[in-house]
Amino acid sequence: MREREAHQWAVSRSDGKVQPRSIKSATGVRTPVPLEDPAYERWEFLAGNALREMFYKPDHRLAGSDFFVEFPGNYEIYFEARAGKKDYYLYGHPSGDSYKAARDFVPHLFWLTTGSEDIKDCQCTLCKRSVAEHARANAPKRKTSKPATTKAASTAPSSNTTTPVPAPAVPVTSTAGPAAPAPSVPVVQQPSASPHPATSAHVPAPAPAAAVLSPAVSQAQSRPQAVSAQQPQPGSQPRQEIKPAAASSAAPVTPAPPQQQQQQHQQQHQQQQQQQHQQQHQQQQQRILPPVESVLFRDGEVVWFKNGASWRIGIIIRNVSANATAGVRAHCVIRPLAHAALVIPPTAKLEEEMRPFLAFSVPSVSNNLTAALGNKPIHEIDWEAQQQAMAAGDPHKKDMLGMEASKMAVLVIDGSYSTFNRQSVPEPTPTRTFYAGVFLGSERLTAGEAVRIRPSPGDPPSPKPYPNVMAIRAIFVETTAEGERLIFFGDVLRLEEVPLSQPPAIYPHNLPAAMVREKSFRDKVRAHAGVRHDWVPMPGNMNQNAMRLETDVRGRFYETEKLMSIIDPARLQESVGKGELVEVQQYLNNRTDKATTRTTNRSEALMGVLPGNELPLSFGPGIIED
């Protein structure tokens, strides 16, 4: 249907609600528009180009390109014939109301790409209306007492006049929870016999990001408030402990003098201004954060997918959400990897037909092919000439050459990284630039989530084969005299099985959602044994506010239930039935421990892997690459 060349925004989340096939309005009846109607293409391009204006500056290389966006599941265009013309409306919003123009839907489209599931964070007119109606419906009713005298009754407000109750201020949902204090002095690590290379004693720790991607879910709901409140801020006076007043006949408290009251008022005003300033910062940061990764496989990741009786390597170019009305299941659109002269159409795969890249090992490239190509980098090879010489029109040989080239391609990708969504919070330094996320090898990682970390030399051994996990609070690239290095900042924790009677572990920050779900799953499975699982900070100064190089990252942290459900569902069901846990870690390899090369963006790592007319790739409006 789309004849003009354009880039596509991928919106993988939908809150769309199925609507009736016929909707009565005040002026007539509205019915769905067929997909082949030009109105669909017009609205998709209007919305897509509006998103482009939001995400790309005028001097960006894609600022002049056309963009379109396929509407999320259950969002449909309806029309109403009136006075010899058609009026169009977009239905699907959970409220049942419609958008009257494509531009009205753009704020909601943007919200669907963010990590928030709170409609208070959406700036579209329909969500704002829903929030206001909910606030009015739940506003406390004003109670009026009977007047004591006739005079009092004459001055009391009429009971028929309701004082409007303002809707509560809509806070920006900070997915990171309370930010930890930013050290203003270098963090000096304790010397050890074998210092870990990722944590240099003279490197100051960064201020944690003001907002991160994954929903922040507290592990201990009843955590004592004094855990972080009693810690003195750098450069501030220690907080005095406040004790409850003893019951006695002490003299009444003397009111503060007017001058002191004025000072208190000024301090409160300054605090309110600071909170508003922080909220504005968070709102600004929220615009450039990638979406929550509730899906198992992410746009831009390299994965294995089922190809008949074998497995092949490809890159996810789009996640497609489920559409119950159309009978469509959630799936990924994957472009198989090969070489620049081999055009292979994308293929759609369900989660159960896919595996993380680290689930299998890549076979070695044929020695004969390596010799024939002269050990050249994949982007320097004349693939048209090589395909003609080696395949000579034979489809089987052409496919085999593509398979061998995919092995070369994935080695290049796995040895590279590229950052996205440059951040202004924490404030960059002359040597550090912060980002919301990074394509690291085959995987896509973001601040606010969890990664598996290699143990430091001084770390005690884990009681079970649980990995050390870092809850990432910030990602930055540091420029040194030796070059650039990618650094992950956060806390290193590990999972421990403990008796239910043991007091819960205290962790002063919010855990990534995947870690919370992992704990919840394990607690349910092992409840019969009278135990639970706690994420416990690893001991040692090098593991709190820690910095780890890319070489310390083993890979993404995968939840046991989610990954085992596709790798070996029968074994998962059997183990859960017995009240036992199967360790998903034994199904995963570790990523390389060698330093990787930085590329400008994900597409640069695919040079020579995909035909030039398929590049650059776009991974949706939530991912802004350099």
pLDDT one-digit tens code per residue, 232-289: 333 333 333 333 334 334 444 455 566 666 666 666 766 665 565 455 444 434 333 4
Q: Say what percent of the chain tops pLDDT 90.
A: 46
114 burial level (CB within 10 Å; 0-12, 13-18, 19+): buried
Please tell me what DSSP assigns to residue 343: -
Q: What is the mean pLDDT of residues 53-74?
A: 80
Please tell me what DSSP assigns to residue 102: H
595 burial level (CB within 10 Å; 0-12, 13-18, 19+): middle
Question: Which is higher by pLDDT, 262 or 520?
Answer: 520
Confidence of residue 455 (pLDDT cuts 50, 70, 90): confident
Q: CA of 159: how far to CAs of 118, 135, 162, in Å?
A: 35, 21, 7
Question: Which is higher by pLDDT, 246 or 549?
Answer: 549
Residues, the chain, total? 626
Q: What per-residue confidence (pLDDT) applies to 560?
A: 95
**Which pLDDT tens digit goes with each residue over 383-394?**
999 999 999 889
Q: What per-residue confidence (pLDDT) applies to 303?
A: 98
In this structure, the dihedral spanned by the alpha carbons of residues 218, 219, 220 and 221, taken in order and rounded to 10 degrees, is 40
Distance (Å, rounded) from C-alpha 104 to C-alpha 98?
Answer: 10
Q: What is the mean pLDDT of residues 371-378?
A: 89
Q: What per-residue confidence (pLDDT) applies to 3?
A: 58
Distance (Å, rounded) from C-alpha 366 to C-alpha 361?
Answer: 15
Q: What per-residue confidence (pLDDT) applies to 246?
A: 40
Q: What per-residue confidence (pLDDT) applies to 231?
A: 35
Q: What is the mean pLDDT of residues 123-143?
A: 85
Q: Can you tell me whether residue 33 is helix, strand or coil?
A: coil
β-bridge partners, 443: 440
Confidence of residue 66 (pLDDT cuts 50, 70, 90): confident
Q: How many CB atoms lie within 10 A of CB 174?
A: 19
Question: Which is higher by pLDDT, 177 or 608?
Answer: 608
Q: What per-residue confidence (pLDDT) applies to 324?
A: 75
Confidence of residue 507 (pLDDT cuts 50, 70, 90): confident
Find the range with the poorest average confidence among 68-72, 144-148, 509-513: 144-148
User: Does residue 186 carry a pLDDT above 80?
Assistant: no
Q: What per-residue confidence (pLDDT) applies to 289?
A: 43
Question: Which is higher by pLDDT, 586 or 76?
Answer: 76
**Dihedrals phi, psi of 156, to nearest 5 degrees:** -75, 145
User: Does residue 590 carry a pLDDT above 50?
Assistant: yes
Give the predicted TM-score (pTM) of the model: 0.61
Q: Say what percent of the chain tops pLDDT 70.
A: 73
**Which pLDDT tens digit goes with each residue over 317-334?**
988 887 777 777 889 999
Q: What per-residue confidence (pLDDT) applies to 581?
A: 92
Assess contact for 390 and 397: CB atoms under 8 A. yes
Contacts of 20 (CB under 8 A, 6+ apart): none
* 168's tokens: 């509560």
Q: What per-residue confidence (pLDDT) applies to 547?
A: 93
**Which pLDDT tens digit goes with each residue over 168-185?**
333 333 333 333 333 332
**Which pLDDT tens digit goes with each residue over 522-538?**
999 999 999 999 998 88
Find the range with the poorest average confidence among 291-295, 318-322, 480-484: 291-295
Q: Burial code of 393-411, b = ≥16 C-beta within 10 A, e = fewer?
A: eeeeebeebbbbbbbbbbe
Q: What is the mean pLDDT of residues 82-87?
A: 86
* 215's tokens: 């929903």
